[in-house]
Structure 1
């Protein structure tokens, strides 16, 4: 597909510079945006920071593409959280950085919408490659990959368990405190891992419940770009376009 983009090259460069320099974390916040994003999605903090950078790119694609752009599940999570910060999103980001409003609206859902947004996603990834001259990182743009992030993180945590239990065992033996405390501590560790893991996919469960309530976004005003996303990407994530 031959895609055309809005704005001149110089205008695109200026727009990207503004998006790239936009501060998501308020300096006086006890729980900055990036920390909250990682905490609410049970992401590694560095993963969350990289997700924010990919969100910047998604928004840029929304603005330069008349055909529209469609977010992945990970990008969608960043977008949804940003929408909660109403002053940051509407006044600082849309109003002063993008110079356009990007609204979020529910879509009709159904098979046709899913097919439409699947094609939209393909076009988005092509535009990403052409714009940034690189492949979209799969951990942020491939929904099948992102759905396994929890498994990788959980296994990583589990691999530390034998080492921790060994240290506890050696310490207990040296102190001649017996085996029972070891069993109790080990049991507590396992339970904490299970409980922690059960909360990791709360966002995924919420998204799963909303799979048939996918969304789209539209902008107000002739100079604005419209955008969209699914409340649940399984029902077809939306996108943005003019």
Structure 2
């Protein structure tokens, strides 16, 4: 890091998201909403600060991991802490969370941004980002089918690794072979067919390339404005002077909008 970057990082690292006077801390809310342990939550918050630092110093795209993105989403709802305490008073920049436009082009762009974010991380912090927070590209852009669920009303039951369609097919095949065995007395045939099917399904489900293509281009990134210089791009709210660090330009909206998967549009208003 340069001398200026070291000073900036020290300021960001010292920034506290938890309000000592609050009965329900930011970290506690974040842990509850994501089902995280307290220790893991604190680690993700630290990675979020590193992401904000990278947003401030890079002229190219920066995309967070999904856990880091969840910290960002929540922090954006604490508007005074985010826009005033962090953006205005700590870093002197507005860091905007922009929505993806979707599609194959966006998917490729964010995959590239995510890779460059991890390269920048290594360059500035002298170590690789933790793998349990900064997941690999394939997981980052495919494991994104999230919905808000009231756990007080609904049970959450983990799905088996085998998909429902393949499980149904397997059950029907077993039923058919059982019928064949009962009718024709062929136990070895039944066992052979079941073994082949089970092995085939297992190999497909464990394929690391399964679901690799992200058609939606879901992701998130940042664009900045303020004291950090002009990189010739625009961001939310019609301001200019920031760099394109996220979803590829101005969405044309202000205020807050909802979330879908990991491509989430946050507050796009001003920084005051």
Q: Which residue of 1 aligns with 2:223?
A: 218
1:97 to 73, 85, 90: 90
Is 2:14 the partner of 1:21?
yes
Secondary structure at the counterpart of residue 36 of structure 1: helix
- Of 20, 23, 32, the residue aligned with 1:30 is 23
Distance 1:83 1:28, change over 3 A: same
Q: Note if contact 2:65-2:135 (Cα within 8 Å) is conserved in structure 1.
A: yes
Structure 1 pair 234/27, CA: closer, same or farther in 2 (3 Å)? closer
Residues in 1 aligned to 2:243 and 2:76: alpha-carbon distance in whole angstroms: 16
Deviations along 1:56-80, one digit per CA (max 9) or x if unpaired, are: 1111111111112110111100000
**1:44–1:232 CA distance, 2 compared to 1 (3 A):** same
CA distance in 2, matches of 1:124, 1:94: 20
**How far apart, in 1, do the equivalents of 2:263 and 2:80 lie?**
29
Alpha-carbon deviations, 1:139-179, whole Å to 9, x = none? Answer: 1000638x99xxxxxxxxxxxxxxxxxxxxxxxxxxxxxxx
Once the two structures are superposed, the pairs formed by residues 153-168 of structure 1 within 5 Å of their partners are none
Deviates more, 1:24-33 or 1:211-220: 211-220
User: Offset of 1:103 from its aligned partner?
Assistant: 1.2
Written as runs of structure 1 = structure 2, the 5 A alignment for 1:33-48 is 33-48=26-41
Q: CA RMSD in A?
A: 3.1
1:166-185 alignment, distance < 5 Å: none
8 Å CA contact retained: 1:218, 1:228: yes
Q: Does 1:58 align with 2:51?
A: yes
Report the count of equivalent residues: 174
| Gaps in structure 2 of 5+ consecutive residues | 144-151, 159-215, 231-240, 249-258, 266-272
Using the TM superposition, give the Cα deviation of residue 228 of structure 1 relative to its aligned residue in structure 2, in angstroms. 3.1
Q: Which whole-Å CA distance do the structure 2 matches of 1:236 and 1:28 have between them?
A: 30
Q: 1:176: which partner in 2?
A: none
C-alpha deviation, 1:129, in angstroms = 0.8
Closer/same/farther in 2, CA of residues 100 and 225 from structure 1, 3 Å limit: farther
The structure richer in helix per residue is 1
Task: From the superposition, tell whether residues 236 and 133 of structure 1 become closer, same or farther in structure 2 (CA, over 3 Å).
Answer: farther
Per the TM alignment, residue 10 of structure 1 is displaced from its structure 2 partner at its CA by 1.1
Q: Secondary structure at the match of 1:139?
A: coil
- Any idea what SS the aligned residue of 2:119 has? helix
Contact kept? 1:113, 1:235, Cα under 8 Å = no
Match of 2:172 in 1: none
Structure 2 residue aligned with 1:122, among 115, 126, 146?
A: 115
In the superposition, the TM-score normalised over structure 1's length comes to 0.63
Contact 1:103 1:217 in 2 (8 A): yes
